[in-house]
A and B are shown apart, each in its own frame.
Chain A
Amino acid sequence: SQTIHQWPATLVQPVGSPLSLECTVEGTSNPNLYWYRQAAGRGLQLLFYSVGIGQISSEVPQNLSASRPQDRQFILSSKKLLLSDSGFYLCAWGLGTFGRADTQYFGPGTRLTVL
């Protein structure tokens, strides 16, 4: 069966510090991978998605970046965090069928607080 891991679960960082969040998927090959952010009490904001190694699509221009160094590994990074980067970060994977996305499977999330 497939599983998705995210770490860390919680993180408190000062403004201006770097960030690295990691997501790995087990039990499937060539998944589509996604990073979302959820501000407190708000909906989901798609940040990045990837349909293959080294392929990254950015949805929101900001100080975050993403990389996919391996088929089932997706990393979210920042060189300098802002207060507005605080939120709940969710990684998800899914498979595409007939040219569209199918069900997405979400990780447990990382709660980031920038002080």
Chain B
Amino acid sequence: GNSVTQMEGPVTLSEEAFLTINCTYTATGYPSLFWYVQYPGEGLQLLLKATKADDKGSNKGFEATYRKETTSFHLEKGSVQVSDSAVYFCALTNTGGFKTIFGAGTRLFVKA
């Protein structure tokens, strides 16, 4: 079946540090991959997505590349800010249904 595994948090970084949050997936065929972000007390919102192998999604300085050979979609940002403190969810969708499979979420704390 389809599943998503992401690194456990929390991740604590200082402002301007480099961020990587690992995400790997299990799926048949060619899933679409997503990163969502949840700020405190709010719903989730799409951060970026990629729909085919080698695509790079990017938004607000965040990037992730769809790597089919390693079944990964790691989230990166070159210089984090305090305002990036949130929970980040990796997710996938696949043919055969209209559900989104979410990872467990990774909480990021950025210190000034």
Q: Report the interface size class on chain B.
A: 20 to 34
In chain B, residues 82-112, which have Cβ atoms closer than 8 Å to a Cβ of chain A?
A: 89, 93-100, 102-105
- On whether A106 and B89 interact (CB within 8 A), knowing A100-B96, A100-B97, the answer reads no
Number of interface residues of A (CB under 8 A): 24
- A109 at the binding interface (Cβ < 8 Å): yes
* B34 and A103 contact, CB distance less than 8 A: yes
Bound complex: CA of A51 vs CA of B3, how far in Å? Answer: 22
In chain A, residues 31-71, which have Cβ atoms closer than 8 Å to a Cβ of chain B?
A: 32, 34, 42-44, 46, 49, 51
Chain A, residues 75-115, CB within 8 Å of chain B (1/0): the string is 00000000000000010101010111111111111000000
- Chain B residues within an 8 Å CB radius of A42: 104-105
Among candidates B36, B89, B93, B103, residue contacting A101 with C-beta atoms closer than 8 Å? B93
- B32 at the binding interface (Cβ < 8 Å): yes
Bound complex: CA of A103 vs CA of B45, how far in Å? Answer: 9
- Chain A residues within an 8 Å CB radius of B31: 100
Among candidates B43, B89, B97, B98, residue contacting A108 with C-beta atoms closer than 8 Å? B43
* A100 and B43 contact, CB distance less than 8 A: no
Chain A residue nearest in CB terms to B34: A103
Q: List 27 A-B contacts (CB under 8 A).
A: A32-B98, A43-B103, A44-B102, A44-B105, A46-B99, A49-B98, A49-B99, A94-B98, A96-B98, A98-B95, A99-B96, A100-B31, A100-B93, A100-B97, A101-B98, A101-B100, A103-B46, A104-B36, A104-B44, A104-B46, A105-B46, A106-B44, A108-B42, A108-B43, A109-B41, A109-B42, A109-B43
